[in-house]
Chains A and B, each alone.
Chain A
Amino acid sequence: MPRMLRPEEMTRAVVIGSIDSLDVTIECLYELGVLHLIDFTEQDEDFKLGQPLGKASDASQKLLKLRSMIRSLGIEGHKPGGQLRTSDISKKIEQALVTLDLNTTSKAEARQRIQSLMREKESEISALGPFRQFGIPVEDYEGYDSISVFAGLCKSDPERDLRSKVPGSDLIKLQRKADVVVAAFVRNEDKVDAVRVLGEHGYQETKLPKLKGQPDDIIRRNEAVLLDLEKDLKRVEADLESIRRQFADLIVASEEYLTIEVMKAETPLRIATSDNSFVIDGWMPSSKFGELQQALGSLCGGLAFVERIPTVKGDEPPVKLKNPKPVKPFEFFIDLVSTPKYDEIDPTLVLFITFPLFFGFMIGDLGFGLGLMALGGVMRWKLKGSPDLQKLGTIVLAGGLLASLFGLFVFAEAFGVPFHPLEAAPDEHSWEVVANIPLHPLLDKMHDIKEMLAISLVAGWAHLTLGFTIGFVNHYRHNMKHALAKLAWLLILLGLFIEIMTVAGDATTTSSFVNSTVLAWVPDMTANIAGIVASIPAVLIILIGVIGLPLTEGAMALSEVVGLFTNLISYTRLAALAVGKGAMALAFNTMLFPLIFESHNIGIAVVGALALFVTQMFFVFFLGALSAGIQAVRLNYVEFFLKFFEGGGKEFSPLRYARKHTVGDK
């Protein structure tokens, strides 16, 4: 089992054949979708980059036409009712393109002309509108030898300033709600002054159209023209709509069909061909080799075959993660960071276990857990359009499940309300009002904080130990020195953990359990240094690790020893968030319950309770779930991944296509 927990095993394969069988071979490769092509780059005398298959140029031309029609008909994103057979499409497309060309192109152009004409008329109307009441013909606003005309809009009335600073100017104005329409006639020598004065009043020039006649007449004329144009536009739109109804399905399906055809036809541009043969180089999952061999044998009749070639050092096979189905959605977290390298251990499985555990512990509430499961379920099964959200839904579902289990068996509470009141506070509100649930808490969020801190630290130690172990395995075959460095880190981590457990001693059930089982082999020798109990074996183990570090990873690594301690402490966020969330829910419930039980006005009770319930749901449920989710991811990304994960692998992307609106036929 050499590749356990690692990405799918890849084989370097070349497909060789006679040039006559090239298109059949390409067809076959796309159909199977197992070969990750390596682009051919080193051309020489004999082998050159291939030429596109014969059908390429015809298909791309048709594709271009179809895409422009899709735009002019406005059917981007149209979803055909059913799937069309590719053989039907290729039969129909020739004819359909002619019909469409005749109708659509001319109609679409007519629509465009009408629309631009309408825009022109509308802009004339809006430019002339303010000047309607001045009664001056449009041509009189320009064309003087000694006079400049300013026609436009001012924010405030410039009349008084203009009269005092530019004597001899003539101003016509119209005060409107928000601005003033002005037409100022100024002698050319006063132009600069006028510009300044008008500028102070926020003047903006209106570009008047080059027309003749009274603005009022022009506007009326334009309005009549617009009415006619609108009728024309409606007619053209109706024609286009009927074309759309008739051809949309065919066009969208043909577009998909031709896109795939072009993709296939252009594949030779990435492979090596000579006058009589071709060579396709690539990677494929080892398990699929036989399948390809068989398919080529039966389809190409001995004209093309596939062969394994040995890998060379430095080869980087593409990475296809290999995980059982329930674990698959957690690859989402890996994709967010980076694809693992081919030789690296794929940490998805660890995430599958640790994420829901951490998340569940932090939420730890039956009510919220069930709510999260419902949310996750909806995302998983109802959001068919978004695979990423579906994956996230599965993750939330798993997290919610663990949160419910923790809430049920460990914390014994739902919606922040305990199943039974604590012994210390028998008057506390609890679910006993509703039902007597035969489960009692093992931990109480408000009182067993020490215990929860200890549990967090044990979880942290286990998680980090696993991280360093994976790091050791990753390096074991390539670089023994780096692998040994991971061992040194493991020792330091163990020493820190022993020390922490020694200090905790019997203060918590967890630490005394760990001390008497996992750490039972550690000799009980302690010294009191500056008021702190130090375990001598722990100090010795840490020392061995610290000495080992400069020898394996370099002296710089020593500066990170303190960092490892903070890494370990970092896991106390598990306890911190659980307590924080518990406290938040408790605070809301303290406000909620008196309203329900002690207010004697039923109206106030219901309204107040509802309002509080909604805010509580928002704060405790959504924000709580969000922060618990982020923290659970963070512990994996930062504390865990940084101990071993390198990433930067190349993703496996084989030659293949996805048909949505078409079905191929053999």
Chain B
Amino acid sequence: MIGAGIAIGVAGLGTGIAQGQVGAAAVGATAEDPKMFGKGMILMVLPETIVILGFVVAFLIMNA
């Protein structure tokens, strides 16, 4: 249980840090040129994969 918690918790933390920085930059870019929204969003959501990996690992630990 604790292992699974750490897996998803720390992964979420990592995603949060990465996404915060990318998001701030993306909002800045969009403010300058609204056409950047799509590209900004792609970059913004990239780190989300980390927490998804955390979720899968947590799930595997729970089932093991």
Hey, which bits of chain A sit against chain B, CB under 8 A?
A: 336-338, 449-450, 453, 566, 569-570, 572-573, 576, 630-631, 633-634, 637-638, 641-642
Contact = CB atoms under 8 A, between A and B. Distances in A.
Contacts of B56: 453, 569, 572
A569 B38 contact: no
Contact of B59 (A449, A631, A637, A638): A449
B21 interface: no
Contact of B38 (A337, A453, A631): A337
A339 to B, nearest CB: 10
Interface string B41-64: 110011011001101100100010
Nearest to B34: A336
Nearest to A449: B59
Given A450-B63, A453-B59, A638-B46, A569 B41 contact: no
Contact of B49 (A336, A338, A453, A570): A570
Given A449-B59, A450-B63, A453-B59, A638 B42 contact: yes
A573 B48 contact: yes
A570 B38 CA distance: 19
A443 to B, nearest CB: 16
B42 to A, nearest CB: 5
Contact of A566 (B39, B42, B53): B53
A572 B49 CA distance: 10
A573 to B, nearest CB: 5
A449 to B, nearest CB: 6
A336 B52 contact: no
Given A336-B41, A449-B59, A637-B41, A573 B52 contact: yes
B38 to A, nearest CB: 4
7 contacts: A336-B38, A449-B59, A450-B63, A569-B49, A573-B48, A573-B52, A576-B55
A572 B42 CA distance: 18
Contacts of B55: 572-573, 576
Contacts, number: 46
Q: Which 7 A-B pairs have the closest CB atoms?
A: A337-B38, A336-B38, A634-B45, A576-B55, A573-B52, A637-B42, A570-B49
Interface string B14-38: 0000000000000000000000011
Nearest to A633: B41
Contacts of A634: 41-42, 45, 48
A569 B52 contact: yes
Contacts of A337: 38-39, 42
Interface of B: 37-39, 41-42, 45-46, 48-49, 52-53, 55-56, 59, 63
A572 B56 CA distance: 8
Given A576-B52, A576-B55, 5 more contacts: A566-B49, A569-B49, A570-B49, A573-B52, A638-B46
Contacts of B53: 566, 569
A578 to B, nearest CB: 12
Nearest to A333: B38
Nearest to A334: B38
Contacts of B46: 638
B38 A637 contact: yes
A592 B37 CA distance: 39
A637 B41 CA distance: 9
Nearest to A576: B55
B26 to A, nearest CB: 13
A634 B53 CA distance: 16
Contacts of A336: 37-38, 41
A478 B38 CA distance: 27
Contacts of A573: 48, 52, 55
A638 B45 contact: yes
Contacts of A641: 42
B1 to A, nearest CB: 15
A121 B48 CA distance: 61
B7 to A, nearest CB: 13
Contacts of A637: 38, 41-42, 45
Given A449-B59, A453-B56, A572-B52, A338 B38 contact: yes
A646 to B, nearest CB: 13
Contacts of A638: 42, 45-46
A223 B24 CA distance: 52
A337 B39 CA distance: 6
Contacts of A450: 63
Nearest to B59: A449
Nearest to A563: B49
A338 B46 CA distance: 18
A638 B46 CA distance: 8
A638 B39 CA distance: 10
A594 B18 CA distance: 40
Nearest to A627: B48
B52 A630 contact: no
A633 B48 CA distance: 13
B52 to A, nearest CB: 5
A206 B59 CA distance: 71
A388 to B, nearest CB: 11
Nearest to B54: A576
